[in-house]
Amino acid sequence: MPNSPVVCHPGPVEGPQREVEEPALSLPKGPASALPKPPQTIASPNNRVPEPALSEVERVSILRHGFAECLLTLTLLLTACASPGPPRPPSLHLVHIPTDLTAQRVGPSVLLHWTTPSRTTDGTAIPSPLTAEICREPNPATDSTKQPSDKACPIVLRLAVTPGPSTAADPLPAPLTSDPAAPIAYRIRIVNPEHRSAGLSKPALAAAGAAPPPVAGLHSIATRNGILLEWQPLAAPSLVELDRTLSSPSKPQPEKSSSPLAPSAEPTEIHLRTGDEAPRPTDPGGTLDRTALRSQTYTYRATRLRTVTLDGRLYELRSEPSSPITVNLSDTFPPLTPTGLAAIPSNTGAAPTIDLSWQPTTDPDLAGYHVYRRTESGTFQRLTQHPTLGPAFSDTAVTPGIPYTYRVTAVDNTRNESAPSAEVTETARPIQNP
């Protein structure tokens, strides 16, 4: 507020005017009502009666009251002038420019993902409705910081959006779905109800050109080592990516363990890629998913990939995803058969025994082993009521001089039992007296 002189006028003093040298007065103490008041006169509409002359004391009192009121007014004006900042212009309600736009070529279209902002550039609430305008720029300029003209990047998509994750698909015209491959750039701006925006985003790049054909004939075979996935291969070099989703019913999760050896939870979704092991990408026509767990249900989709390098940048052109297949890896596969079974008689203890040992199996869901025995004229009988955990067993129910034949099987957590091991025969020996 500009400084301006403040002129205080306590008001005219009627009556005869003469120069008065203002003496230092000693005003009477007491309330203001004690001051002498001029006599009141009544003026009629047609006859104005002149007011009587004021004494010096009365004039000084009026002047001092006038200066006090002037000082109070000046204080209030100075306080008002100290208000912070210049006046702010009205908000234009411009929505922030999206900063996470991505573009992915899938089949004949480009899939776009971004997050629509939830605040305006001046921090106010988002107005509605909002419109996303997306432009496509073939063969974009190398300098991505320059805003392209409407002619260079024409609007190809307009859609209503709300704050949060947003998606759109741009179906490419036929010339952009055939070779030669070339880069294309997408930009987005969010327009408010007054048709204003904060500008275009930075570009998100994708590739024009011929996309690979979809994967055909996808099917699965459950094996003891995982899920075997097969499809019709192509003679042309290509990669195949498999998206696996866990579709089993959710199970209660065990309490978290602080041990670093505690198993981690299985991820809901993983990606498997095949064909990139060789120097030149090839389509193997199948792969084995060894990470699949038994008794789980999975859904698979396959996508074929083509990679191209344009201006030193690697681009992916994806086929449309295949039809999904669902497979349950039922645990119907028995463990591996134990090997290396050996029997050694012992007669140094309180009773004769035959000690057995074998090579352990490596099945991840192994529960233990069962031991079987028979005599020369009998059939095999199981000696273990519950699976023994380790690859060893001591048979104490033997009679010296009688030969016994043994065999061992492996059992998993779902009670699948392996084929029996090779047989071994041994005769118990009598106790040696000291």
Same domain, 239 and 292: yes
Same domain, 399 and 321: no
Q: Which of these, 263, 316, 311, lies nearest to 291 by C-alpha position? A: 263
Q: pTM score, two decimals?
A: 0.63
Query: Which residues fall within 8 angstroms of residue 359, CB to CB, at 6 or more apart?
Result: 338, 339, 340, 391
Output the 3-class SS for 196-252.
CCCCCCCCEEEEECCCCCCCCCCEEEEECCEEEEECCCCCCCCEEEEEEEECCCCCC
Give per-residue pLDDT as tens, 152-178.
Answer: 889 999 999 999 999 999 999 999 999
Give the containing element (helix H, strand E) for 306: strand 297-310
Give per-residue pLDDT as tens, 20-60.
Answer: 444 444 444 444 444 455 544 444 445 454 555 666 666 65
- The CA distance from 398 to 345, in Å, is 10
Domain count across the chain:
4
* Token code pair at residue 5: 């002189």
Q: Residue 59: give the domain boundaries.
A: 1-39+49-80
Residue 86 inside a domain? The answer is no
Residue 42: the pLDDT is: 46
Residue 88 inside a domain? The answer is no
- Give the CATH number, domain containing residue 376: 2.60.40.10
Q: Which of these, 432, 371, 368, 423, lies nearest to 397 by C-alpha position? A: 371
Same domain, 122 and 194: yes
Same domain, 170 and 224: no
- Residues of the chain below pLDDT 70: 1-68, 70-91, 143-145, 248-264, 275-281, 433-434
- Is the Cβ–Cβ distance between 353 and 345 less than 8 Å? yes
Q: Which of these, 148, 142, 141, lies nearest to 187 by C-alpha position? A: 148
Residue 261: the pLDDT is: 41
- Is the Cβ–Cβ distance between 303 and 244 less than 8 Å? no
Beta-carbon count within 10 A of 276 CB? 14
Residue 334 inside a domain? The answer is no
Residue 79: the pLDDT is: 54
- Is the Cβ–Cβ distance between 334 and 416 less than 8 Å? yes
Residue 128 inside a domain? The answer is yes
- Backbone φ and ψ of 177, nearest 5°: -105, 15
- The CA distance from 12 to 274, in Å, is 103
